[in-house]
Chains A and B, each alone.
Chain A
Amino acid sequence: MPFFRKKRLFLILIGFIIIVALIGFSLRDRANLTTAEQFVNDTVGWVQGVIHAPVNFVTGIFTNIDDFKDTYNENRILKEKLSQYKGLIYEVQELREENEELRNTMDAEDSIRDFDPIHATVMSRSPESWVEQVTINKGEQDGVRSNMAVITAEGMVGKIQNTSQFTSTVQLITGFDQFNRISATISREDGKDIFGMIEGFDKESDSLLFRIIEESEKDLEKGELVVSSGMGGVFPAGLMIGTVKEVIPDQYGLTRTALVEPAANMYQINNVIVVDRKLTEEKEAETENEEEDE
């Protein structure tokens, strides 16, 4: 009798125990991946880097054909917008200079807006539909750490979940749950900004849930921009998150929740920027202490 058949039940039982132990081990809040996992991730990541280029070329051809169809209409709209932007550029430049001057007079060096960008390329996306995760080709060696925000030119796409030496995985905004909140704000004039938290992603309406913290007498309008506020201490301020789609009362009718459509397209991510916030929590605490001392 072969080894397997005799002890079939025994083996399956042992298997169950190992599975439960493994799942329990990986669901724990762990700060770092084990060395073995990092090694596997880096090896697979390296091969993915090789394979990514030809695959991208092939898919690029199809996207290009699609793009051609829309070119005429897009061109017309873009020309209109361009003329508006010209005015904006001068305004921004002036504001920027003024901001710098004011900053110099105040002696403030880093603000919660500043960050160092780390450019990275997306190499693969998890095929499992419950896991919203992509792999990028920069890791700890390039200065990527867990919990850094990840953005594209369009807006925020997620945060770093795990890092290996040469690759890291990004948890997409569409996979955020109540454990990954982003403190966000809608900018209004005269300091009447609306603050709140992005509390997760609702799959049914395909939108982020933005819970408004303060008493929400101020009416939200459709199409208003939601940006990160930097108050959470992890993400820098001013990262574009999305636009308001609809405002609904929450289940108790006390606060209101805005449905926010993410600004970035989660299925067409190629190049991303990992955001290394300059002002970390420790530094922030130090500056606060100094202020108190004075």
Chain B
Amino acid sequence: MKRLYLPLILFLFLVLEGVALELLPDNLIKSDWFFVPHWVFVFLVYLAIFYERENTYHSVIYALVFGLLIDIVYTGILGIYMFSYGIAIYIIHGLRKILHGNIYVTILLGLIGIALSDISINIIFSLVGMSEILWEDYFSNRLLPTVISNLVFLLILYPIFAKRISRWGREQLAGRNTI
């Protein structure tokens, strides 16, 4: 049963992303800023930092699966979120080996990860021809608000999930060396 927690929580965040914009006040949405919720990704960052052992890659696989689900449900173009989330989580997974998992490292890695994945998403969208925004505008109007709003979400999750996830990791991955 406990094994189902992670996919269920990720699925819940996936669904909640769809109503995220309704939670923001009206004048914020109508302004030039774009707030893109990457809540699934934020939770994946926690997985990559606290859940994983040295040689397990569960978070990368979750990133690929739930990235694909986001693509199906919210963009209609398969592969964009899947690729961006997968790569960003893989990089975070690599960086985690250098740094020890505490709150500052979580914020730092979260910042890097969100920025990386959002930039990657935007590169693909502009290659496909769906976004026509200038890069300067992108950095000030979309990247900055998106990173900040998702970091706030990351900080809210920290007291709830940090300890719990590392406990689940110890219980479920004990004695395993590879995937």
Contacts and interface: CB of A to CB of B under 8 A. Distances in A.
Contacts of B130: 130-131
B78 A25 contact: yes
B112 interface: no
A245 interface: no
Given A2-B178, A59-B22, A41 B73 contact: yes
A48 B75 contact: no
B18 A123 contact: yes
B55 A127 contact: no
A231 interface: no
Secondary structure class of chain B's binding surface, majority of residues = helix
B69 interface: yes
Contacts of A268: 26
Contacts of A169: 76
Nearest to B33: A129
A52 B72 contact: no
Contact of A47 (B15, B22, B128): B15
A123 B21 CA distance: 12
A129 B18 contact: no
Nearest to B132: A203
Interface string A39-58: 01100100110011001101
A2 B76 contact: no
B36 A129 contact: yes
Q: Which of B69, B72, B128 has the most CB of A within 10 A?
A: B72
Interface in A147-200: 161-162, 169
A127 B37 contact: yes
Interface residues of B, number: 46
A207 B11 CA distance: 36
Contacts, number: 108
A108 interface: no
Interface stretch (B79-87, B99-107, B152-160, B161-169): B79-87
A127 B17 contact: yes
B29 interface: yes
B19 A51 contact: yes
A23 B124 CA distance: 10
Interface string A50-76: 011001101100100010000000000
A3 B179 contact: yes
A15 B19 contact: no
Contacts of A123: 18
Nearest to A125: B21
B23 A127 contact: no
Interface in A1-46: 2-4, 15, 18-20, 22-23, 25-27, 37, 40-41, 44
Contact of B128 (A3, A27, A37): A27
B74 A26 contact: no
Given A15-B83, A19-B83, A44-B14, A26 B25 contact: no
Given A22-B82, A44-B69, A55-B23, 8 more contacts: A22-B78, A41-B73, A123-B18, A127-B37, A128-B121, A130-B125, A133-B74, A267-B21
12 contacts: A3-B178, A3-B179, A20-B79, A26-B76, A26-B79, A41-B72, A44-B73, A51-B15, A124-B19, A133-B75, A203-B132, A268-B26
Q: Which 7 A-B pairs have the closest CB atoms?
A: A124-B18, A22-B79, A129-B34, A22-B78, A126-B74, A19-B79, A130-B131
Interface of A: 2-4, 15, 18-20, 22-23, 25-27, 37, 40-41, 44, 47-48, 51-52, 55-56, 58-59, 62, 66, 123-131, 133, 135, 161-162, 169, 203, 267-268
